[in-house]
Structure 1
Amino acid sequence: MGDERAVLVEEPVRERDERATGEGGAGAAGRPAAGRPGASGGAVLGDAAAVRRAAEDLEAGCAVVHGFAAIYALTARPDREVVARVHRMTGRPEGRPGGVTTVPDALPGLFDWTRLPAELPRRQVRALMEELYELGPFGFRGPAADRLPPHLTSGPDGMRAVQVIAPGRHCPSNGFLHAALDRTGAEYLFITSASRSRQLPHWRADEAARDFRHEPWVRILAHADESAARLRHPHHTPVTTSMISFDRSAGFGRAGLPALTLERQGSLSAEHIRSVAANHGFALVLAPGARGPRPDPRPYAPPAPSVPGRRS
């Protein structure tokens, strides 16, 4: 089938934008459109009309770059064709398993809890999830529920794992995710960093819009106040989301506690995650890729100095 569905929706979405959008990005009835890369007036999380429009565009096959705690994520339908199209656009390998996202309350339903290693108590893992999502965004890789498709999972049949990343309970992006899930009738969506391959995720909407300005099927849904979004998550830095795996055993820690594996040290530090894990009876083992220092946020060039007398 290729990208037929994704390609076919692009022109109707553009036509609808042209019909509904007037000067300044407002619809004919005063309804703001979901922001297109490089468009002025951009759509923001918390604006019900803009969130609804972004959810409609996502249903039609667009990808939405949206505020996600202290950074920006790119979310789209989880169809194989759309996932492949996003991978091509961002330079990621097309066969790479896609990550999924949903609202925190729906997250446990994406895992097959019957396949947890025997030494990892289900109740304690779920309690750990709850505390980490109370703090902010986090990622978990665990045994995949059977209904998840192969392009969103990894590993052999019977041992497939899924990578689930959610924004945390206090992020306004939950409103957009709810709207997109309702609009598509899905229980999960595809998610990746709002960046090109091998680049750090964006944490400013204007820079994300500049990066994707040549992609007419990408929409931007910015934080209403990016500084406030970062202050809402004081323990997280604006880098990729930290991730724990529990699809396989990591043995036991020095104190004899069952161990979870930190696959990626990202926005929440390994030290903070270790202390939270200990509260729930787990040790934390760092995978090789998580043993280095946390990455620094994506650097941006400072704004050009204004010239006296020159009109911007």
Structure 2
Amino acid sequence: MGDERAVLVKEPVKGSAEEPAEGPGGEIDMGGVAGGESGLRCSDSALRAARDLGAGCVVAHGFANRYALASRADLVDVGRVNRLTGRPDGHVGSVTTVPSAIPGLFDWTLLPAELPRRQVRSLMEELYELGPFGFRGPAAGWVPRHLTCVRDGVTTVRVVGPGRACPSNAFLGAALERTGADLLFLAAANRPHESPHWRADGVVADFGHESGVRVLPHPDDLAARRRYPHHEPVPTSVVSFHRPAGRGRSGLPALTLERHGSLSADHIRSVAANHGFALAVAPQAAGGRAVARAYAPPVASVPPVVSVPPVPSVPSVPSVPSTPAVPAAASVPAVRR
């Protein structure tokens, strides 16, 4: 892999779908914003980014209404993404895949009897129709151990998807084909204690200088946000179903909201009830939703400071001499008669 830094590419990526484009000096250029104006919806750009991911590149790409970092799921690449985002090497994050492959990441035979498989699957379908969402459930046996964690005595995996309508699914599918795997590692495009980026220029500012990072942007960041009116551009909400969380007031078995993110708890609760579930909010999710990242206005939009010349001093008017006081009239003596 070359050592070029990421640069902003204005035109859609051209060239062979089999060999990466070469950068200056004949080295492979793995950096840059793929596709410029077309970005995520440009098939050439998506294929180029997928090819680069397969070669070891980290791709920061549009993900529903924000940005995420995707990489191969092996231990080395996972550690690299964790370091890029300021997380420890042993951090177990999320995995992603195309919508049709999500059920295969879970071991449905380990679901407790209180949580019927068909109802959980139908809930997943509806939430992914709405937009980005995450689920934690019993991990399938083939999922690599470094992508799982044990919760309540169950080996689980957290799967986050952008929703069925997101154009990033085409990129994810091409990347999976390139890697020959059924999943990718996924991290939010942010540093610790920050909300994810939802603008491409912010992603480039934070990660574009890193070697081997590629950016596949939304064609229009604001339009991407508007496509998901119920979701905030923050980390996805995550529901876990590896263990029931008791029963709700309605008597329905409860799933756990382990992260209160892009979709509100009230919205999730109403959807879950349609599928026969209550919703219990975990303590770590009870503090409210994250706040969307705010960006300072571009420098060009700030009006320039105009220097105002000093007002010339007005010459003083000479003082007018005061009129001498008129002496008072002398008193006239009274006439005697």
Deviation digits for residues 281-309 of structure 1, max 9, x if unmatched?
A: 00000001111221110121122215499
Q: Which amino acid aligns with 2:219?
A: A
Shift of 1:198: 2.3
* Kept after mapping to 2: 8 A contact 1:120/1:258: yes
Of all paired residues, the percent bearing the same amino acid is 59
2:281 pairs with 1:286:
yes
Q: CA deviation at 1:230?
A: 1.4
Out of 161, 164, 168, the position equivalent to 1:169 is 164
Q: Which residue of the partner structure matches residue 69 of structure 2?
A: 74
Following superposition, the deviation at residue 56 of structure 1 comes to: 0.6
The Cα shift of 1:98 comes to: 3.0
Shift of the alpha carbon at 1:26?
A: 6.4
State the structure with more CA Rg.
2
Deviations for 1:10-62, whole angstroms, at most 9, x for unmatched residues?
A: 33x859x9xxx998566675999798357994761010111000001100111
What TM-score, normalized to structure 1? Answer: 0.87
Secondary structure at 2:154's aligned position in 1?
Answer: coil
Partner of 1:219: 214
TM-score for the superposition, normalised by structure 2: 0.81
Moved more, 36-45 or 135-144: 36-45
Q: Is 1:194 paired with 2:189?
A: yes
Give the deviation of 1:158 after TM superposition: 7.4
- Post-superposition shift, 1:159? 2.2
- Tell me which amino acid in the other structure corresponds to 1:100: V
2:34/2:217 contact within 8 Å kept: no
Aligned twin of 2:130: 135
- The one of 218, 238, 249 equivalent to 2:244 is 249
Structure 1, unpaired ranges of 5+:
1-9
> What is the total number of aligned residue pairs between the two structures?
295
| 1:67/1:114 CA distance change after superposition, 3 Å | same
Q: Do the aligned partners of 2:9 and 2:33 also contact (CA within 8 Å) in 1?
A: no
Moved more, 287-296 or 56-65: 287-296
Runs of 4+ deviating beyond 2 Å: 21-43, 156-159, 306-309
| Whole-angstrom distance in 2 between the partners of 1:22 and 1:240 | 26
Q: CA RMSD in A?
A: 2.8
Match 2:203 to one of 202, 208, 229: 208
